[in-house]
């Protein structure tokens, strides 16, 4: 298990049939009314930049800065974190692929069911922070599923106008299982990923914090002044590919690439090479 220096925050216990789990949880209720937002990290247990950033975000905001309620769950996959893996070692499942989970399943099914029922279902925005697993090499990006409903589309436009991220994927495809599920329930969802190969560099953590500030601001959940200097490149699809290192999982790494619809199908417009 990696030793991370993290600020202390309160905990909550998820009482699951497969065994209870204690995980960090805190919330800030703003002085002014506003939306309910949930921020998670550590869905992939080995994505440390996101885990650190989410802890620091809780320390960063105060009730006078927040409008509405912001909840922080900086380490969803506690078992994966202890094992140093993206997936849960208990049942071999990836929390991010289990949605919305179910009550009578294995550990990860239940955990995600608990997360959805307790903290996502009644939120109007879910921000999920990722940090590039021990297997992933990528260019930092913000990822949004192109929403079908008006209110969420308005927020997505605002975020595209204000974010300082260099790469945004405004995806036409329901890339993740929860994309269309959440959209049908009018819950806005933003996934952001910065960092790679299981590192937790300060610059990546700071980037995730700034992107979260901008996202919360675009949603009207915090008071914040954006000052971006450049427009992002907006892609409408992502793919990830394996490096040709055979079956040796220790050496096999994923590369993320984004694909623009203006380019012929299958053309790679941004392939992110290994250092």
Taking alpha carbons only, the member of 99, 125, 96 closest to residue 113 is 99
DSSP states along the chain = ----------EEEE--TT--EEEE-EEEE-SEEEEEEEEEE-SSTT-HHHHHHHHHHHHH--TTTBEEEEEEES-S-HHHHHHT-SS-TTTS--GGGS-S--TTS-HHHHHHHHHIIIIITT-SEEEEEE---TTEE---EEEEE--SSHHHHHHHHHHHHH---SEEEEESS--STHHHHHHHTT-EEEEEE---TT---HHHHHHHHHHHHHHHHHHTSB-------SPPEEES-EEEEE-S-TT-TTT--EEEEE--TTSPTT--SEE----
In whole angstroms, the minimum distance from the beta carbon of 199 to Zn ion comes to 13
In whole angstroms, the minimum distance from the beta carbon of 240 to Zn ion comes to 11
In whole angstroms, the minimum distance from the beta carbon of 191 to Zn ion comes to 8
Measured from the CB atom, is 82 or 231 closer to Zn ion?
A: 82
In this chain, which residue has its C-beta nearest to Zn ion? 130
In whole angstroms, the minimum distance from the beta carbon of 198 to Zn ion comes to 11
44 binds Zn ion, rule: CB under 5 A: yes
Measured from the CB atom, is 124 or 134 closer to Zn ion?
A: 134
In whole angstroms, the minimum distance from the beta carbon of 44 to Zn ion comes to 4
Q: Which stretch binds Zn ion (CB under 5 A): 8-16, 115-123, 124-132, 198-206?
A: 124-132
Residues in 156-175 at the binding interface with Zn ion, rule: CB under 5 A: none
Q: Which stretch binds Zn ion (CB under 5 A): 27-35, 44-52, 159-167, 262-270?
A: 44-52
In whole angstroms, the minimum distance from the beta carbon of 130 to Zn ion comes to 3
Q: Which stretch binds Zn ion (CB under 5 A): 71-79, 108-116, 125-133, 153-161?
A: 125-133
Measured from the CB atom, is 57 or 191 closer to Zn ion?
A: 191
Number of residues lying near Zn ion (CB under 5 A): 3
| Cβ atoms of 234 and 247 closer than 8 Å | no
130 binds Zn ion, rule: CB under 5 A: yes
Q: Which stretch binds Zn ion (CB under 5 A): 22-30, 45-53, 102-110, 257-265?
A: 45-53
User: Under the rule (CB under 5 A), what is the footprint of Zn ion?
Assistant: 44, 47, 130
């Amino acid at each position: 298990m990696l030793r991370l220096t993290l600020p202390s925050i309160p905990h909550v216990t998820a009482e699951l049939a497969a065994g209870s789990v204690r995980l960090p949880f805190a919330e800030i209720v703003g002085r002014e009314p506003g939306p309910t937002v949930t921020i998670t990290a550590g869905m992939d247990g080995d994505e440390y930049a996101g885990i650190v950033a989410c802890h620091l975000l809780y320390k960063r905001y105060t009730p006078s800065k927040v409008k509405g309620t912001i909840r922080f769950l900086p380490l969803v996959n506690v078992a994966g974190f202890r094992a140093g893996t993206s997936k849960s070692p208990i049942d071999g499942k990836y929390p991010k692929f289990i949605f919305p989970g179910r009550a009578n399943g294995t550990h990860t099914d239940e955990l995600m069911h608990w997360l959805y029922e307790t903290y996502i279902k009644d939120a109007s925005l879910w921000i999920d922070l990722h940090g590039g697993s021990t297997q992933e090499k990528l260019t930092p990006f913000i990822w949004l599923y192109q929403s079908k409903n008006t209110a969420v589309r308005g927020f997505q436009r605002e975020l595209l106008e204000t974010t300082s991220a260099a790469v945004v994927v405004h995806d036409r495809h329901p890339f993740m299982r929860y994309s269309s599920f959440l959209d049908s329930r009018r819950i806005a969802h933003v996934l952001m990923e910065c960092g790679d190969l299981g590192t937790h560099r300060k610059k990546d953590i700071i980037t995730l914090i700034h992107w979260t500030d901008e996202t919360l601001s675009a949603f009207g959940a915090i008071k914040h002044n954006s000052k971006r200097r450049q427009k992002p490149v907006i892609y409408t699809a992502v793919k990830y590919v394996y490096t040709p290192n055979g079956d040796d999982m220790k050496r096999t790494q994923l590369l993320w690439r984004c694909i623009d619809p203006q380019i012929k199908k299958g053309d790679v417009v941004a392939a992110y090479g290994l250092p």
